[in-house]
Amino acid sequence: MNKLKGQVWVFEDNVDTDQILPGYAMAEEFSGLAKYAMAGSKIADFAARVKQGDIIVAGKNFGCGSSREQAPVALQAAGVRLIIAPSFARIFRRNAINIGLPVLVADLRQDVQTGDWINVDLVQGLVTIPGGEVAAQALSANVLATINAGGLINRVRRELGVSND
């Protein structure tokens, strides 16, 4: 999972958790959150159009607004495989990593458009875009271990030798 390829969805600066997962969806079971992903954003039909393996490229401060842990869950459930932005709200970043959804620090908004395909090497912190390559902040060994385990709970269980049943 250290090398990813996906189609891009571009979003603006300051996408908050109310845009990622509106408050009215909070009563939904985790299994039903995908249909509400990005329902409060400028791309209101995102959940109906996103495909498994797609990548969000956003502006600064992605995931700001609240500690709503369901926000990254909704994106992952909808098929988002990676989020790239110049900065993330700290709690959103932590929640994403904890569920095994990688977040990569880089500013690609001027380099890609919605619909472009990109390749990402999470270990090297390298993003191949149409027309070249862009350096990103590589993920730490600790974060990669959590992502590759499928999230923090799976990683801890694996390290403790506890079954995931």
Mean pLDDT of the chain: 95
Work out the average pLDDT over 119-136: 96
Work out the average pLDDT over 8-14: 97
Q: 38 with 76: CB under 8 angstroms?
A: no
List 6's β-bridge partners, or say none: 118
Tens-place pLDDT, residues 99-126: 999 999 999 999 999 999 999 999 999 9
- What 3-state class would DSSP assign to 9? strand
pLDDT of residue 162: 87
Residue 139 has pLDDT above 70, yes or no: yes
The token pair that represents 142 in the structure block:
């600790």
* Span of 54-63, 145-154, 155-164 with lowest mean pLDDT: 155-164
Angle at 18 between CA 142 and CA 55, to 5 degrees: 50
Give me the architecture of the 3-160 domain, per CATH.
Answer: Alpha-Beta Barrel (3.20)
Tens-place pLDDT, residues 20-64: 999 999 888 888 999 999 999 999 799 999 999 999 999 999 999
Burial 97-116 (b: 16+ CB within 10 A, else e): bbbbbbbbebbbbebbeeeb
Residue 165 has pLDDT above 70, yes or no: no
Residue 84 has pLDDT above 90, yes or no: yes
Sequence-separated contacts (24+) of 107-112 with Cβ below 8 Å = 107/59, 107/60, 108/8, 108/57, 108/84, 108/134, 109/10, 109/57, 109/58, 109/59, 112/8, 112/10, 112/57
Torsions phi, psi for 115 (to 5 deg): 105, -20
Residue 66 has pLDDT above 90, yes or no: no
pLDDT of residue 163: 76
| Residue bearing tokens 């709690």 | 91
Residue 1 has pLDDT above 80, yes or no: no
